Amino acid sequence: MKLYRRLTAGLATALMAAGLALAAPALTRPASAASLTQVTNFGDNPGGMLMHIYVPDVRPADPAIVVAMHGCGGSGPAFHSSSEFASVADRHGFIVIYPSATQQAGFGNCFDTWSEAAKQRGGGSDPVSIISMVTYAQRQYGGDPNRVYATGSSSGGMMTNHMLALYPDVFKAGAAFMGVPFNCFANAADYPPGASRCTGGSMDRTPQQWGDAVRQAYPGYSGVRPRVQLWHGTNDTLVPYQLLQESIEQWTDVFGLSQTPTSTDTPQPGWNRRRYASASGVAVEAYSIQGAGHSLPSGGMAAAAIAFFGITGPPPTTPPPATTAPPTSPPPSGACSASYRQVGSWPGGFQGEVTVHAGTTALNGWTVGMGFPGGTAVTQLWNGTLSGAGSNYAVRNVSWNGAVGANGSTVFGFLASGSGAAPTLTCASP
């Protein structure tokens, strides 16, 4: 009994640390009058939850909505102050809902992913309360029903997978940090700190079994499924790292995809990413964070989740004109070239897209040089490897997009601070 109490206390302490102290040195937020606000009487609330909302001062008329959920022992306000989602919302103009769970699962404040009511669409408990919060944000602030997303850490990551399974018609994508697959917990007795089969390190089901659990959550649903981003530390023993693979198996089966990734890369040192794509794009991506324990999200991960969602900032009042910066000199026959267009802009920043073109012969690798006017800095890039600083950068292909067929093309994108002036481009291939 003494050993059990010590294990229980250790688990509670670790989960509370995950819920309350993640990324304590959060990003410095720009000066703003926006603040976290509690909302009462937001609608049907069978889970007895609390709702807080963060609405940035600068936002479009129909802002995206992100539901950000804490870990066990935490709260919405604590997750707001210890994570980077609000500071990213200031930059990109989306609303963040911070629910606070009140369920008692041994040590309190865990999102209900174990009860039969919570496993049924419209069945009650926390999932219905969360949907009421989303509906409130849409009604009160004009939130875009076509841009609603879920994310969370530990218990909140578990609920992220839960909401994507139960309400695929509401959520367009989700990012689960240190979560477990939908329907992993058999019941309340199987939830920590009891002897959980789900998080005990021995959970192993087939992809079809996991996929069937999601399909049975909303029988007959034939619409588009939300895209899924999964994060886990390789040294996480509280929610064992192998559960990342079980989650991958669940969602790739739901999308009818192979268990073999279509691409792998390392966007940042220690961030090993696997992507699973169909003809319409990446449906599932999974990050293995080397050496990390039960401590996610850490710095930069909130921004990566928001980029995966496709939230890139308040849209301009009128669509920006596409601009093209041709190579400094016409490429010889068969060489590569590059063209640029601005996808969107907002005060102090913009999103750009570069298309790499092959000539009359195929490319086997490429490097694009981007020269910007002073005051521009690239802050994030995808589908390439970035080097350089200041106003001059080089972007090299990653493993899966270096081969470009004759007369074909591939695309990479980026976010940058600055005026949005088009870069001067060069393109070279080995």
Distance CA 187, CA 114 (A): 5
Q: Which of 203, 199, 97 lies closest to 152, judged by CA?
A: 97
Unique residue bearing structure tokens 């073999």: 260
Q: In the numeric block, which tokens belong to residue 81?
A: 């102050």
Please list the residues that pair with 353 across neighbouring strands. 341, 413
- Taking CA atoms, 267 is separated from 118, 264, 304, 382, 386, in Å, by 36, 10, 10, 8, 9
Q: Which of 401, 419, 418 lies closest to 410, judged by CA?
A: 401
What kind and span of H or E run contains 77?
A: helix 76-82
Q: In the numeric block, which tokens belong to residue 140?
A: 């009160």
154 is catalytic: yes
What kind and span of H or E run contains 92?
A: helix 85-92
The catalytic residue among 125, 129, 153, 154 is 154
Q: Which of 101, 96, 97 lies closest to 49, judged by CA?
A: 101
Residues 6+ apart with CB under 8 A from 357: 336, 337, 338, 339, 404, 408, 409, 427
Residues 6+ apart with CB under 8 A from 114: 105, 185, 186, 187, 188, 190, 191
Q: Return left, alpha or beta for 87; rule: phi > 0 is left, psi -120 to 50 is alpha, else beta.
A: alpha
- Count how many residues are written for the chain: 430
- Taking CA atoms, 113 is separated from 159, 192, 285, 299, 321, in Å, by 6, 12, 22, 27, 47
Q: In the numeric block, which tokens belong to residue 410?
A: 């591939």
Catalytic residue ranges = 154
